[in-house]
Amino acid sequence: VPVLPIYTCDQPVLRKKAKPIRQGSDALAAFAGDMLKTMHNANGIGLAANQVGVLQRVIVVDLSGTEYAPADARPLALINPAIIATDGEWSLEEGCLSIPEIRDDVVRPEWIRVKYHDVDFKEQELEAKGMLGRVLQHEIDHLDGVLFIDHLNIVKRKLLRGRLNKIRRGEVEVTYPIVNGGAGAVSDHPLVR
């Protein structure tokens, strides 16, 4: 299973809406596995398909081994995830593998209910609060072309411009392969149709 390169903030694929998946397949299960491996390789706790250049509605999340993890934490792959209920709100600092070295506070609902398909394409629902709820919301945003910096106010976004340009130029220290600069590219991963 390969580690996929992670597309960074200037890449058009991060600004597009990913398409719903209509059925399960071996290719889909393999892709979810590729995404988990890619996320773990980058020491991430969440990853959306857009971030590896694939416009399909797949996210992976894994809090196991982090301070936020409940005892039963395990890697999750969610197909076509959709938030169907929310409650409360709280502010928490977020970061993103596609926007290396930038972190800021974002306000989002505290509790969510999500429906999704698992990799066997069975319909599932889960409720999440705390860090899991936060990561799921961040990743589902990615599937709609939304980045966490979009939730910041205009003053903060202006202040980030110089640092975003550095990422465009590849002037970031990351330990994982990235795609940056140029006119943008879309992955040739077999799941792309």
Contact positions toward Zn ion, by CB under 5 A?
A: 96
Min CB(150)–Zn ion separation in Å: 11
- Exposed e or buried b for every residue in 149-175, given b needs 16+ CB within 10 A? bebbeeeeeeebeeeeeebeeeebeee
Between 18 and 96, name the residue whose CB sits nearer to Zn ion: 96
Min CB(138)–Zn ion separation in Å: 5
Between 149 and 186, name the residue whose CB sits nearer to Zn ion: 149
CA proximity to 137, closest of 100, 98, 110, 162: 110
Give dist(CA 46, CA 164) in Å, integer.
21
Q: Which residues touch 12 (CB under 8 Å, ≥6 apart)?
A: 184
Which residue's Cβ lies closest to Zn ion? 96
Task: Output the six-digit token pair for 53.
Answer: 């250049």
Instruction: Look up 139 and say whether it is catalytic.
Output: yes
Between 77 and 96, name the residue whose CB sits nearer to Zn ion: 96
Options 67, 139, 171, 173, the catalytic residue: 139
Give dist(CA 99, CA 56) in Å, integer.
20
Ranges of beta strands (E only) in 29-69 are 46-48, 58-61
Min CB(123)–Zn ion separation in Å: 25
- Exposed e or buried b for every residue in 15-43, given b needs 16+ CB within 10 A? eeebeebeeeeeebbebbebbbbbbbebe
Between 87 and 106, name the residue whose CB sits nearer to Zn ion: 106
Min CB(141)–Zn ion separation in Å: 8
**Catalytically annotated residues:** 139
